[in-house]
Amino acid sequence: MAVYTHLGAEDLARLMEHYDVGRLVSFKGIAEGVSNSNWLLETTQGRFILTMYERRIETADLPFFLGLLDHLSAGGCPVPRTIHDRDGAAWRMVDGKAVALIEFLPGLSPSAPTPGQARAVGSALAQIHLAARDFPQSRTSTLEPGDTLDILKQCGAAALGTIDPDLPPILETGEAIVHEWPRALPRSIIHSDLFPDNVLMLGDRVTGMIDFYFACTGSMAYDLAVTHAAWCFDGTGARCDRALGRALIEGYETLRPLGHDERAALPLLAEGACLRFIASRAQDWLDTPDDALVHRKDPMDFVRRLEFYRASGQSAFA
């Protein structure tokens, strides 16, 4: 379970006293995720999500992340708004760690996405790209291919080999991706982590896009490539469902058609997306304590995706 810090009922009840959300009725930890502690809270006024920021997220970035949620929500995007406390603050400190209360949205994350769902997600992704163009803040990505290659180098070939003997060659592949990376594609604020578990749906309707804590200023086509890699493969990355990929891109282009340069760059952008998740999964695999209630994710699932994009080129998106 992704609850690194344990807060009791009394702790959470005291925290809720700082918000106009009623009295705490019940709570439970949320198992998904590996970077933060999360709870589902029910109060006398409704349901909310409480997040305690544990890893990879700097408190200095919270005005960007939480302000972005409010901006997109106000713009009609299916995004949860931040619940501000009685002093107007978007987050508070508890035991030296920042916490934020977020609106709860209905819906379920699809475990076996359909083309209809992929089309809806593509459209919703384009919607946030367009709505974020006038967001007044920016954030530099810390997960460019060079950054993620550095993570893999810091892990070291020997340690990577303890995860899987076929993993160390990714270092050489990463060098090629960094060398070829496009740097002049159209930009906006991007989600950059839109896996199915970060989307809530009722049928084919997107009711919530969540977990914007990797959002940054970046290439919109890269965000689409990340989503393609996240949605269009089986769990091991061994098989790509091309129908899902076509639906995703079709949905995106109903609101924002891709430029020629963006479409041409999609295979390389997808390789870079895979490199990023290989690096984060490898780092988590090596760094997560043995007694943490977190399921380690296999970086080889994204090595297989990367190999597919490299072998298929443009046909991966046809």
Q: Which domains does the chain have, with CATH numbers?
A: 9-61+80-103 (3.30.200.20), 115-317 (3.90.1200.10)
* DSSP for residue 81: P
| Residue keyed to tokens 């297989």 | 304
Token pair in block for residue 221: 């086509």
- The DSSP code sequence of 126-191 is HHHHHHGGG-S---B-S-SHHHHHHHHHHH-HHHHHHH-TTSTTHHHHHHHHHHH----S-EEEE-
Which is nearest to 52 in space by CA: 213, 291, 279, 215?
Answer: 213
pLDDT in tens, the chain (318 residues): 455 677 889 999 999 999 999 999 999 988 665 568 889 999 999 999 999 988 668 889 999 999 999 999 999 999 999 999 999 999 999 988 999 999 999 999 999 999 999 999 999 999 999 999 999 999 999 999 999 999 999 999 999 999 999 999 999 999 999 999 999 999 999 999 999 999 999 999 999 999 999 999 999 999 999 999 999 999 999 999 999 999 999 999 999 999 999 999 999 999 999 999 999 999 989 987 666 656 789 999 999 999 999 999 999 998
Q: Is 164 left (phi over 0), alpha (psi -120 to 50) or beta?
A: beta
Phi, psi of 110 (to 5 degrees): -70, 135
CA 202 to chain centre: 20
Contacts of 258 (CB under 8 A, 6+ apart): 221, 224, 249, 252
Which is nearest to 48 in space by CA: 67, 73, 21?
Answer: 21
Phi, psi of 99 (to 5 degrees): -130, 150
